[in-house]
Structure 1
Amino acid sequence: MVSFENFFEQIGSKSIPHPSQNALDSLYDLIIKEKVATHSGYYHLPFEERAIKDSQSYIQAHSTLLSTIKNLIIIGVGGSSLGTKAIDTMLCHLPHRKNIALKFLEHTDPIEINKALQGVELKNSLFVVISKSGTTIETSSLMKYVLAHYKLLDHKEHLVVITDENSPLQKWAIDTKVKFITIAPNVGGRFSVLSSVGILPLMILGYDVASLLEGAKNFMMNFLHRREDHILRKAIFLAKSRDRFPINVLFSYSSSFKDFNAWYVQLWAESLGKIDTYGKKVGLTPIALIGSIDQHSFLQLITQGVMDKSVTFLNFNRKNYSEPKIPSLSLPHLESTDFVNKTSFAKLLNYQQIATMQTIQNEGIPTDEIKVDMLCEQSVGILIFYFELLTSCVGRILDINTYDQPGVEFGKIRLREMF
């Protein structure tokens, strides 16, 4: 369903040797210890029924309201919104996706607030506030706005909260008798999409969330049985060559991946940009591109700029997309473009990716490729868990805490002081 091909070996050298079996075994053991220690709860989400049961319970109790809603508005920022947005963008072509507009209030930009809420009426809308604590200033401010604007405390059935157990936001929901669903506090925000944070909105939209979790579960089981060691090899390469290749590019060949790219950037940057146990600042810089659009804006820099980047290509099987085709039309003075006539746009995009990948490889730039056979809930579950697990593996080698974000907290403190 999803295949992984690694081309890093092509640039192996004495300075970046291929990892030994002992190195692979050591990293595997570190990840297993981290999983068992429950330092981060995301490892266990694909194996749990909590998110599905809590979401089903909420949907059954509010079936009358949910049968009439036309707008689902997510109020949250970062990990509270990016994962759900990414999955919906990848899967919104599926026939069982309900005709409900998914909107996000995640920005304090007044223009975006007005744009997101344009035409939204209370009677056919559900507002979902998502925050681990509720004290994130963007989320709390946006929640206050909709509470006042739509008089939601007089219409509490149109509001639901997803938050940590025993958080300030849960206590507020209890006091005001607003419906809430909790998640485990050890599930970090950017690793939370397979919890109720993502499962409830996706289930309301009609997606097969059981298959989403099944895809993630199957990938983790394969990893546990040492059938996905490519992820260990990639993590070791990226971590050990970080001084030579500090920039990691995700080059996704479909606009369906544009929001997945944004989710990856947050996951990678916020997890890996840290101070290690020796007091050294470390990190890997993520860049997300969409092909073929960014071939005309970024490929030049990759191929002839500083050789400090690795590139991961992400694409899906386009064999089922034979239409539309480029017409057999020859235009005066533009005859040089006729070589693609009668070709499907899917085939053209595929060849553009192959040509780009070969060009980059010929420059000695390290690459790998992820191929999705079909964009469905199960394959997306695999993709989500692959990148989460890869992030954890790199974090272990860098000797950092992959799951905190002290730099972000410093900014929050300074903002409070400014006010």
Structure 2
Amino acid sequence: MTVSIHVSGDAKAAVERHVPQLVADLVASGITAQDPALWGADAEAEASKRLGWTEAVAISRPLVQQIADLRALFVESGIDNFVLAGMGGSSLAPEVITKTLGVELTILDSTAPEQIRSALADRLETTVLIASSKSGGTLETDSQRRAYESAFRAAGIDPAERIVIVTDPGSPLQKLATDAGYRVFLADPNVGGRYSALTAFGLVPSGLAGADIGELLDEADAFSLNLAEDGADNVGLILGAALAGTQPLRDKTGIVSDGTHVVGFADWAEQLIAESTGKSGKGLLPVVLDLESPELTENLPDVQIVRLVGDAGAFHLRERHPGEVLISGSLGALILTWEYAIAVAGRLLGIDPFDQPDVESAKAAARGLLDDRPEPVAPSFVEGGIEVRGTADVVSAAGTLAGAVDALLAQLPADGYVAVMAYVDRLALPELADLRDLLAARSGRPVTFGWGPRFLHSTGQYHKGGPATGVFLQITADTVDDLAIPDRPFTFGQLIQAQAAGDAGVLAEHGRPVLRLNLTDAANDVPTLFSALR
């Protein structure tokens, strides 16, 4: 199945304006040939070591049989529960692949102690842990691996028989895994994390869980020629121009699934777009929508709607809103198409799409808090069981929870957005995701929602490096039953609180308005929270 696209309105005008020049500049073939000069002199050093994704299909082929053989070995031994410890690019691609192909894979991309405990309690005797980290030093993944090692040993299971490592060659995790006797899959180091869906990072967890990764590679391969050719019908060029070439720029990209067979694609695309483009005060903000989201009918001038549909060629004949981008295709082909498109978007925006200069700031702040262990900042006030903190422009004059919310939204510029960041156990509090549509309707502006610390490896880059137009609502919760991290001087509960506080601190340092709400009794506090936000 190929990828088809339909554009109209401002998106069509952008395509007509930019694609002929992109074709004349040989951008598509240049990306395929891994030309690092396409994004300017400042980006050349990074781009020269980040374009391996263009040949990921060929490089990954030998992995298919290796993964199938290992899965067969596990299954024959009665081991059939697969858990992935990974963040960002290490988890988002396996999540969309396994959901779309209908196989079970537990995604452990949280540091909430209750969520870790839930995973550890689920069929440990038949579990394989896949610990996946490009750098080999991801704090969340390291902590999750330690928890599983301890649990396996306590159950009389040799961790070397149950832990699989995916990492880059030469990383600290490779050495640790080799010394411990773990099975190791090494990925191509010339591919950045968010572009790694068709490398070992996307394929090993998905294939071990039972997904047909050979077919996934076939889908990408079948469409690769279209993406490499310098022609007006190149879907990668068309999509890139539609996203980043409108005048004035529609710099919020609302993505909605509307008839596609692909499950959760917008969550994967969110990281690809935000981390690639959100820097130097520029960027495209991805906003994951559902079919009832207010943004779909508000006709906001700075929002470009992209619908993932079953058949873009036929969908445009139905009644819809003008100016939308309609795109359809198989999962493998869509992944490769969006990777090309965002590389093209980076060129049009004038940024380096392969670095992420602001991702590390929140990590460093969290590590500093874990090392120094300062006394918690006293709340400005408490309402019910909700502790209220935040930047002075939000909480200084507010004496009520509703007043603090009003003060936060009063800081929202005409071209701004609201970001909701929930550092909680999302298995226990899934209803918090409903805050997104509620705030979008109330504010009349785009709203993003992220589970922490997961989003730090995704939209976290945009929040700090992109346009300074966001206001930020952070939600945390007291830990009821904390969980130790083996051989670490801090617990999972302390880790997630440090990550939240560190993130809020960095946002405040960047001059972003922040409202921090801590639920001391989540079950009773959530209704109070919704009431205040309404």
CA distance in 2, matches of 1:210, 1:20: 32
* 1:126 partner letter: V
Q: Is the 8 Å Cα contact of residues 31 and 396 (structure 1) preserved in structure 2?
A: no
Greater shift, 131-140 or 206-215, is seen at: 206-215
Q: Which runs of 5+ in 2 are unaligned?
A: 37-47, 371-534
Q: What is the correspondence of 1:27-46 to structure 2 with a 5 Å cutoff?
A: 27-28=27-28, 30-32=30-32, 34=34, 37=48, 39-46=50-57
Alpha-carbon deviation of 1:54? 3.8
Alpha-carbon deviation of 1:392? 0.9
Q: 1:180 aligns with which of 168, 177, 184?
A: 184
Q: Which residue of 2 aligns with 1:57?
A: 66
Classify the secondary structure of the residue corresponding to 2:352: coil
Q: Which residue of 2 aligns with 1:107?
A: 110
CA distance in 1, matches of 2:263, 2:214: 24
Q: 2:273 aligns with which of 268, 277, 280?
A: 268
Q: 1:312 aligns with which of 291, 302, 306?
A: 306
Q: 1:212 aligns with which of 206, 216, 224?
A: 216
Classify the secondary structure of the residue corresponding to 2:96: helix
Q: Which residue of 1 aligns with 2:510?
A: none
Q: Which residue of 1 aligns with 2:509?
A: none
CA distance in 1, matches of 2:97, 2:224: 19
Q: Which residue of 2 aligns with 1:146?
A: 148
Q: Do structure 1's residue 89 and structure 2's residue 93 form an aligned pair?
A: no
CA distance in 1, matches of 2:9, 2:33: 28
Q: Which residue of 2 aligns with 1:199?
A: 203
Q: Which runs of 5+ in 1 are unaligned?
A: 276-280, 319-349, 373-378
Q: Is the 8 Å Cα contact of residues 30 and 396 (structure 1) preserved in structure 2?
A: no
CA distance in 1, matches of 2:159, 2:11: 61
Give the total of aligned pairs. Answer: 353
Alpha-carbon deviation of 1:243? 4.5
Post-superposition CA distance 1:132-177 (Å, at most 9, x none): 1221111111111111122288331111101000000001111222
CA distance in 2, matches of 1:58, 1:171: 21
Q: Which residue of 1 aligns with 2:8?
A: 8
Post-superposition CA distance 1:71-107 (Å, at most 9, x none): 1000101110110110111121xxxx5xxx4111110
Q: Which residue of 1 aligns with 2:167?
A: 163
Alpha-carbon deviation of 1:354? 6.8
Post-superposition CA distance 1:189-216 (Å, at most 9, x none): 1111211122222322333322211211
CA RMSD of aligned residues (A): 2.9
| TM-score when normalising by structure 1 | 0.76
Alpha-carbon deviation of 1:11? 6.8
Classify the secondary structure of the residue corresponding to 1:388: helix
Q: What is the correspondence of 1:354-369 to structure 2 with a 5 Å cutoff?
A: 358-361=319-322, 366-369=323-326
* 2:252 partner letter: I
Q: Which residue of 1 aligns with 2:134?
A: 132
Q: Is the 8 Å Cα contact of residues 24 and 233 (structure 1) preserved in structure 2?
A: no
Q: Which residue of 2 aligns with 1:324?
A: none
**Residues 1:31 and 1:242: Cα distance change in structure 2 (over 3 Å):** farther
**Residues 1:63 and 1:16: Cα distance change in structure 2 (over 3 Å):** closer
Classify the secondary structure of the residue corresponding to 2:110: coil
**Residues 1:144 and 1:82: Cα distance change in structure 2 (over 3 Å):** same
Q: Which residue of 1 aligns with 2:327?
A: 370
**Identity fraction in percent:** 27
Q: Is the 8 Å Cα contact of residues 71 and 210 (structure 2) preserved in structure 1?
A: no
Q: Could you say which structure has the greater relative contact order, defined with CA pairs below 8 angstroms and 6 or more residues apart?
A: 1
Alpha-carbon deviation of 1:393? 0.9
CA distance in 2, matches of 1:384, 1:23: 21
* 1:79 partner letter: G
**Residues 1:154 and 1:12: Cα distance change in structure 2 (over 3 Å):** closer
Classify the secondary structure of the residue corresponding to 2:225: helix
| TM-score when normalising by structure 2 | 0.60
Q: Which residue of 2 aligns with 1:395?
A: 346
